[in-house]
Structure 1
Amino acid sequence: MVLKRSLAVAGLLMTMALGAQAADKVLIGAFDVGPGGNPQKFNPLTASAGFTWYNKYFNTLALYDVNFERISGDLAQGWSVSPDGKAITFNLRKGVKWHDGKPFTSKDVKFTLDLVRNPDLGSVFAPRLDSVTGIATPDPQTVVLTLSEPNTPILDTLTNLMIVPEHQLSGISVKDLRNADWWRASPVGTGPFKWSKYEADQYVELVANPDYFRGRPKLDKLINRYYKDGGAAAIALQAGEIQFSYLTMDQVKESQKNGAFKVVSGASQVLNYLGFNNAEPRFKDVRVRQAMMMAIDRASIVKSLYGGQAVLGNCIYTQKQYVAGDLNPYAYNPAKARQLLAEAGWNGIKGEPLELLTYYGDQLSKDVVATIQAQLADVGVQVVPRFLDGPGFSRVVDSGRFTLVFAGGGNGPEPDTLAPLLDSAYAPPKGLNRMRVALPELDKLFDEGRQETQAAKRPEIYKNICRVTNAKLPWGPLWVSHRFGGIGNKVQNMVWTPAPGGGRYQDNAETWSIQ
Structure 2
Amino acid sequence: MKKVKFLGSLGVVSAAALTLVACGKGSNSANTDDSKKASKFPAEVAKKEAKQGGTVKYAIETDSPFTGIFANELYTTKTDFDVASPGNEALFDVDDDYRINDKGPATMKIDRKNNTVTITVKKGVKWSDGKQVVAKDLEYPYEIMANKATKSQRYTSSIASIKGMKEYHDGKAKTISGLEMPDGENGRTIVIHYDELKPGMYNSGNGYFSETAEPYHYLKKVRFSMLESSDQVRKKPLFFGPYKVDKVVRGQSVTWSPNKYYWRGKPKLDKIVCQVVSNNSTSQAIKSQKFDVAAVINSQWKQVKDAKNTNFVAKIPLAYSYLGFKVGKWDAKKGKNVMDSKAKMNNKALRQAIAYAMNLDDVNKKYNSSLTFRIPTLIPAPFGDYFDKNVKGYPYDLKKANEILDKAGYKKKGKWRVQPNGKPLKIKFLAMQGDATKEPIYQNYIQQWHKIGLNVSLYNGRLTEINSFYDKLQNDAPGIDMYMASWSLSSEPSPADLYTEGAPFNFGRVVTPENTKLLKNIDSQKAFDHKYRVEQFHKWQEYMNEQAFVVPTNNSYEITAVNSKLTGYSVKPSDSNQQWFKVAYVK
TM superposition score category, shorter chain reference: 0.7 to 0.9
- 2:435 alignment counterpart: 362
Residue matched to 2:473:
397
8 Å Cα contact 1:353-1:383 kept in structure 2: yes
How far did residue 159 of structure 1 move? 8.8
Other structure's SS at 1:143 match: strand
In structure 2, what is the equivalent of residue 130 of structure 1? 160
| 1:332 equivalent in alignment to 2:400 | no
Residues in 1 aligned to 2:53 and 2:390: alpha-carbon distance in whole angstroms? 58
Normalising by structure 1, we get a TM-score of: 0.86
Which residues of 2 match residues 156-235 of structure 1 at below 5 A? 156=205, 157=207, 161-227=211-277, 229-235=278-284
Q: CA deviation at 1:161?
A: 4.3
- Secondary structure, aligned partner of 1:508: helix
Question: Residue 145 of structure 1: CA displacement?
Answer: 0.5
1:89-117 CA distance string (max 9 Å, x none): 12221122221122211121012222222
What is the DSSP-based 3-state SS (H/G/I as helix, E as strand, rest coil) of the residue aligned with 1:113? helix
- Native 8 Å contact 1:62 1:76 kept in 2: yes
Please name the residue that 1:270 is paired with: 319
User: Could you tell me which residue of structure 2 aligns to residue 146 of structure 1?
Assistant: 193
Instruction: Tell whether the 8 Å contact from 1:358 to 1:406 is kept in structure 2 after alignment.
Output: yes
Partner-residue secondary structure (3-state), 1:370 = helix
Residues 217-257 of structure 1: CA deviation (Å, up to 9, x unaligned): 00011111123x22224323322222112221232211134
1:513 maps to 2:557: no
Alignment of 1:484-499 (within 5 A): 484-496=559-571
Aligned-CA RMSD value: 2.7
User: What amino acid maps onto 2:217 in structure 1?
Assistant: H
Amino acid at match of 2:246: S
For 2:293 and 2:210, locate their aligned partners in 1 and report how far apart those are by CA, in whole Å: 22
* Farther off after superposition, 244-253 or 43-52: 43-52
Q: How do residues 282-361 of structure 1 correspond to structure 2 at under 5 angstroms?
A: 282-319=344-381, 320-346=384-410, 347-349=417-419, 351=424, 353-361=426-434
Q: 1:97 to 1:399 in 2, by over 3 A?
A: closer
Q: Where do 5+ consecutive residues of structure 1 fail to align?
A: 1-22
8 Å Cα contact 1:58/1:164 also seen in 2? no
Query: Structure 1 residues 378, 198: CA separation in 2 closer, same or farther (over 3 Å shift)?
Result: same
Cα distance change on mapping 1:81 and 1:70 into 2, 3 Å: closer
Q: Secondary structure at the match of 1:433?
A: coil
Residue 81 (str. 1) matches residue 156 (str. 2):
no
| Alpha-carbon distance in 1 for matches of 2:521, 2:114 | 14
CA deviations on 1:366-418 (whole Å, 9 max, x unpaired) are: 332222111111111122234222210112112322111111133343122x3
Whether 2:422 is the aligned partner of 1:373: answer no
Give the AA of the match of 2:400. Answer: K
**Alignment partner for residue 47 of structure 1, among 48, 64, 75?**
75
Larger RCO (CA within 8 A; separation ≥ 6): 2
- How many matched pairs? 481
C-alpha deviations, 1:122-169, integer Å up to 9, x for none? Answer: 222221311111111112122110012223445423797431111111
Alignment check: 8 A CA contact 1:244 1:487 kept: yes
Q: Does 1:467 align with 2:542?
A: yes
- SS of residue paired to 1:91: strand
Alpha-carbon contact 1:244-1:488 (below 8 Å) kept: yes
Unmatched runs of 5 consecutive residues or more in structure 2: 1-51, 164-177, 329-341, 411-416
Q: 1:12: which partner in 2?
A: none
Structure 1 distance, partners of 2:569, 2:63, is 18
- Between the aligned partners of 2:200 and 2:75, the Cα distance in structure 1 is 19
Relative to structure 1, the CA distance from residue 141 to residue 167 in structure 2 (aligned partners, 3 Å threshold; closer, same or farther) is: same
Amino acid at match of 1:377: H
